[in-house]
Structure 1
Amino acid sequence: MMASASSRELRGLASDELLALPAVIDLDTANRALMIGRSTGYGLAKQGEYPVKVLRLGNAYRVVTADLLKLLGLQLQSPEGGHPGRVVGEPHRLCA
């Protein structure tokens, strides 16, 4: 039985989902953020050609979220900018 077309489609992560990720993520999550398939992602990691640095911890691959965000253009402003944790280019919103 063949999988339906919708189950085979990759769904990327929205910017709010990316910004909510922990400091280090598994390769499957990074693959999803980059919208690349599992086999392709693991193949690139194994060959040392993944788009961001991949950490090999035992049998597991891990990706530093900050590197992924930078690649995707979602880097955070530094605290000296006056807005710690604020996304570059994001409109400023006052807290209630």
Structure 2
Amino acid sequence: MSTSTAVRRKALSVAEALALPVMFDVWPTVGQALDIGRTATYQLAREDALPIPCIRVGRQLRARRSDLLNFLGLQDQAAAEVESAASAEENDDAPGVEPGAPVERSTQSTSK
């Protein structure tokens, strides 16, 4: 009697999906997100049957984060995180340009 132990791959979490780079390899990322294996991922990509478009870059098959997030229904959550990060970067106490009308400055030297 033989026992086989199948190795279960880890599914892609929401946090991992939101932290993906702009472009990434189709395998393993898309496979993990869709919970399909390597062979099935490449076969679906070859048949143009993956739910997100794939881009061939040399010998690599790549996918865009925006396409994957859109398919997974996470595009609104990703947009909210971007807005949250942008507002956190604003610092009203920082020295710099004051709000108001732009001031035109002369480029001529004032020394004689």
TM-score, structure 1 as length reference: 0.73
Q: Distance between the aligned counterparts of 1:75 and 1:4, measured in 2?
A: 37
- Indicate the structure (1 or 2) with the bigger Cα radius of gyration: 2
Q: 1:86 to 1:70 in 2, by over 3 A?
A: farther
Q: 1:69 to 1:78 in 2, by over 3 A?
A: closer
Q: Distance between the aligned counterparts of 2:48 and 2:82, measured in 1?
A: 30
- 3-state secondary structure, aligned to 2:75: coil
1:6-53: CA deviation from partner (whole Å, max 9, x where unpaired) = x1x232111011101000010111111111111001001111111100
Q: Distance between the aligned counterparts of 1:11 and 1:61, measured in 2?
A: 21
CA RMSD of aligned residues (A): 2.6
Name the amino acid aligned to 1:4: T
List gaps (5 residues or longer) in structure 1: 88-94
- 3-state secondary structure, aligned to 1:85: helix
Cα drift, residue 2 of structure 1: 6.8
Contact kept, 8 Å, 1:21 with 1:65, in 2: the verdict is: yes
Same amino acid, percent of matched pairs: 35
Q: What is the match of residue 16 of structure 2?
A: 17
Q: What is the match of residue 85 of structure 1?
A: 82
Q: 1:78 to 1:52 in 2, by over 3 A?
A: closer
TM-score, structure 2 as length reference: 0.63
Q: Distance between the aligned counterparts of 2:19 and 2:78, measured in 1?
A: 17
Alignment length (residue pairs): 83
List gaps (5 residues or longer) in structure 2: 89-112
Q: What is the match of residue 38 of structure 1?
A: 38
